[in-house]
Amino acid sequence: MPGGGGAMRRRARRHGLVLVRALWIVMCAALLAVSGVAWSTVSELEAGVERSYAIAPDAPKSQNAVNILIMGLTTRLDLQGQPLPDDLLQRMRAGESDRGGYNANTLILLHIPRDGSAAVAMSVPRDNLVTLSGVPSGPQTGKIKEAYGRAKELEERRLRSSGEDDARVLERAGREAGRRAQVLTVSAFLNVPIDHLVEISLVGFFHIATKLGGVDVCLNRATRDDMSGADFQAGPQQLNAPQALSFVRQRHGLANGDLDRTRRAQAFLAYLVSRLKSADVVAVRALIDVAKEDVVLSDGLDLVGLAEHLPSEVRFHTLPVEGGAVVDGQSVNRVDERRVQAAVSDLTAPAAVQPQPPPGIPCVD
């Protein structure tokens, strides 16, 4: 339909956000159809993915960009709070189902400018000592990763005291409280609005790697760690799903511990983005399948549209820390909020003033 896209966009502007969203989905469907993915698959995703309403409709919105908080949870449970099958846990090499709790060990703010310039994925180290917002008992101090679990536990305790005993209701309400607290905490720490959230647990990482047929990575040096099961040579290599999960979990034996693990999560995401941007049908299908099983999206976020409309370049950065400290017997990262704010401002500046990253899959420790 020559010229039809322009006419549709003009009508969308006149009639507001409802038609803008409809146009977005139609464009995604057309692009996916070119790649061999049917419209029925897109419709299935729209109907099948679990949605969160933790971000209030009247929450502050980003201007000239979309900010998405990607949260990777440590839990070994499924979306309903049920244990994973034993054979799956064995293949994941991640221990028993009662390990991990509900810490948000991976926190990445994906900043996507609306002008098509480079997107930025900013990793927030999990052990940063911050004020935890949105926790039912009031603001607390703790590691930034803990907002989710603390809020979840307190909300479930509140519901039980009022007579609620349905495990599924408690799990759903507790997780929504956790998401709300984690979003509010990261938003306050970075001093930026968060428009959407994506939540994925360890099994989601594993399933993505499985459906992709492996993950390409590059290591600066050989490394081995019995805790995570990591055993990798130096240089570029392809990892199978269990190896890929060990790759993103490893922190022992790395010079910078958790900070190096943060860069590995970025490398995993960089590989996924490279597959999506190359119109890789397998990668698109993998994302759709995993989204329906292991991922929670905020209401209104179109995952397929996001994948198809990412800018051609995504840059990865880690927010600075000042050093380590011990608080209440726990190791934490000390942060200078002025440096954090300066880093956020620099990383979301126009692409012209940002250094160009090296091409290809990044090599990490």
Most confident of 18-32, 59-73, 92-106, 272-286: 59-73
The closest of 216, 211, 228, 230 to 294, measured between CA atoms, is 211
Average pLDDT, the chain: 80
202 has pLDDT over 50: yes
Q: CB of 105 within 8 A of CB of 117?
A: no
pLDDT band for position 303 (cuts 50, 70, 90): low
What is the pLDDT at residue 233?
A: 93
What is the pLDDT at residue 350?
A: 59
pLDDT mean over 164-184: 96
C-alpha distances out from residue 150 to 57, 162, 185, Å: 24, 19, 12
What is the pLDDT at residue 12?
A: 42
Q: What is the pTM of this model?
A: 0.80
pLDDT band for position 239 (cuts 50, 70, 90): very high
What is the pLDDT at residue 352?
A: 39
Does any domain span residue 18? no
Does any domain span residue 30? no
Q: Can you say how many angstroms the Cα of residue 146 is from the centroid of all Cα atoms in its chain?
A: 16
Provide the domain count of the chain: 1
Residue 183, SS3? Answer: helix
Most confident of 16-20, 73-77, 231-235: 231-235
pLDDT band for position 107 (cuts 50, 70, 90): very high
Does any domain span residue 14? no
pLDDT tens digit sequence for 349-362? 655 344 444 456 77
Does any domain span residue 162? yes
Does any domain span residue 6? no
pLDDT mean over 315-324: 87
Strand partners, 77: 83
pLDDT band for position 304 (cuts 50, 70, 90): low
pLDDT tens digit sequence for 271-288? 887 887 776 777 777 777
Report which residue type is found at 16: G
* Domain hosting residue 294, numbered range: 35-364
Q: CB of 297 within 8 A of CB of 104?
A: no
Does any domain span residue 323? yes
| CATH number (domain holding residue 171) | 3.40.630.190
pLDDT band for position 169 (cuts 50, 70, 90): very high
Does any domain span residue 16? no
What percentage of the chain has pLDDT greater than the value 90?
34
Give dist(CA 47, CA 61) in Å, integer.
25
Does any domain span residue 151? yes
Most confident of 20-24, 253-257, 302-306: 253-257
